[in-house]
Amino acid sequence: MYLFKLLTLFVLYNACLAKEEDVLDLGDSDFDSRIAEHETALIMFYAPWCGHCKRLKPEYAKAAEDLIRNDPPVALVKVDCTEAGKETCNKNGVSGYPTLKIYRNGEFSQDYNGPRDASGIVKYMKSQVGPSSKELKTSECLEKFLAAEKEAAVVGFFETDSDLKSAFLKAADRLREKVRFAHTTNKDLIEKHGISHGLVGHRKPDNRQEFQNPLFIAFYDVDYVKNPKGTNYWRNRILKVAKGFSGRANFAISAKDEFQHELNEYGVEFVKGDKPVVVARDAKNQKFVLKDEFSIEALELFVNDVLDGNLEPYLKSEPIPESQNDPVIVAVAKNFDEVVINNGKDTLIEFYAPWCGHCKKLAPIFDELGEKMKGEDVAIVKMDATANDVPVPYDVRGFPTLLLGS
């Protein structure tokens, strides 16, 4: 019996030794070089006299035995902060024992906040290996990723490998426990989906520039704080239509009260009732308004007609002047082609705003120029760019804007 107990103790002792050997013991002299050899490593910074460290060490050793054989492997490392690893511990801001940190490819990634028993460490660290951001190569992969879980997800679109992509992947490493990440450099995916907000994104004043044409926007009482059920009621109906146009058009919902000025640009003074008002811009940035009452069928027909070029675009315009007796010709959206593009003359046009101080100072000078150019083969034209749509490709970003063409 005594011999049996002795042999059992010997086997257990050797097993413990074997497990301890699976934990890398590093110090100041070799920490940086050895850690850089491992894709993923868990570091235990400890003090030999620490009671919590003594209780953790056998669990840590058991976990190391499993994780070193994992595919891909995870290295478990220990650093003695009282002897050979003092400087390393200081660099890592170790102020208590044990402190556990996760490193990736030789760099600190995040603090370890998982369990401290062997099976818990193994399970937690297995979830930490492999890519923290899933690479997406097809539209099907993107749609499957977005629909896979209800949790938050972030998708990065990158035209090439870049510093921005590297920063994105590092952020994914740090936040992989809280958020799902994916990325792509596939040009077709980038062109098809642009910046991803899902099939029907929530378009707000601070992200409105991220939605690309052709774009269909539904304006109604969008409020995910006070009325999430009502918000999703209409969004789900728009979603049914959007699924049929994936890759051909983009869709969004916006709060009508936040975009009243934009609605005015489509001739919509206010949104009556609960149903959405839908407007659109095609690939040429021309504007369209759904005139029929909102329904899934009406929206689907509207989208088809806009994409197929079957509708007259909406044009914001002042009335065409009854006469043009002043020295400067007045252009409005409805007569722009006639008085600017197809007038057969070299044309100087001023795009102005009535409230613009610089425009007011320029007005008498422009009138004088118009007077002096009477009878010449030159047209002097002005247009209120706040009351009329400026046609493509004229680029007006400030007032006054003067352009010369022939």
Of the three residues 126, 153, 183, the one that is the final residue of a domain is 126
Confidence (pLDDT) at 375:
86
The values of phi and psi at residue 111, to 5°, are -75, 145
Do 83 and 46 contact (CB within 8 A), yes or no?
no
Region 81-89: what's the mean pLDDT? 93
- On whether both 145 and 242 belong to a single domain, the answer is no
- On whether both 21 and 90 belong to a single domain, the answer is yes
- On whether both 115 and 16 belong to a single domain, the answer is yes
Confidence (pLDDT) at 357:
94
Of the three residues 78, 106, 126, the one that is the final residue of a domain is 126
- What does the alpha-carbon distance between residue 86 and residue 184 come to, in Å, rounded to a whole number? 42
Q: Does residue 223 have a pLDDT over 60?
A: yes
Q: Within a domain: residue 247?
A: yes
The residue assigned the tokens 């789900």 is 236
Q: Would you give the DSSP letter of residue 314? A: B
- On whether both 292 and 367 belong to a single domain, the answer is no
- On whether both 278 and 217 belong to a single domain, the answer is yes
Number of separate domains in the chain = 4
- On whether both 294 and 220 belong to a single domain, the answer is yes
The H-assigned helical ranges of 22-161 are 31-35, 51-67, 86-91, 118-126, 139-148
Q: Would you give the DSSP letter of residue 50? A: -
Can you give the residue range of the structural domain that contains 160?
133-193
| pTM, full prediction | 0.50
Higher pLDDT, 169 or 194: 169
Closest CA to 120 of 32, 56, 186: 56
The residue assigned the tokens 């407007």 is 279
E strands, 192-320, in order: 200-202, 215-220, 250-255, 277-281, 287-289
- On whether both 67 and 117 belong to a single domain, the answer is yes
Confidence (pLDDT) at 392:
76
Q: Within a domain: residue 324?
A: no
- How many Cβ atoms sit within 10 Å of the Cβ of residue 81? 25
Q: Within a domain: residue 148?
A: yes
Q: Which CATH number is 159's domain given?
A: 3.40.30.10
The residue assigned the tokens 């994916």 is 182
Q: Within a domain: residue 378?
A: yes
Q: What is the DSSP string of 330-369?
A: EP-GGGHIIIIISSSSEEEEEEE-TT-HHHHHHHHHHHHH
Q: Does residue 16 have a pLDDT over 70?
A: no
Confidence of residue 346 (pLDDT cuts 50, 70, 90): very high
- On whether both 290 and 235 belong to a single domain, the answer is yes
Q: Within a domain: residue 7?
A: no
Confidence (pLDDT) at 38:
93
Q: Within a domain: residue 314?
A: no
Q: Within a domain: residue 90?
A: yes
- On whether both 28 and 121 belong to a single domain, the answer is yes
- As annotated, the active-site residues are 50, 53, 356, 359
Of the three residues 126, 145, 163, the one that is the final residue of a domain is 126
Higher pLDDT, 362 or 20: 362
Confidence of residue 158 (pLDDT cuts 50, 70, 90): confident
Q: Does residue 13 have a pLDDT over 50?
A: no
- On whether both 269 and 339 belong to a single domain, the answer is no
Classify residue 163 by burial, with Cβ atoms within 10 Å: 0-12, 13-18, 19+.
Answer: exposed
Confidence (pLDDT) at 208:
87
* 101-157 pLDDT tens trace: 999 999 998 899 899 999 999 988 887 887 888 888 887 888 788 776 656 688 888
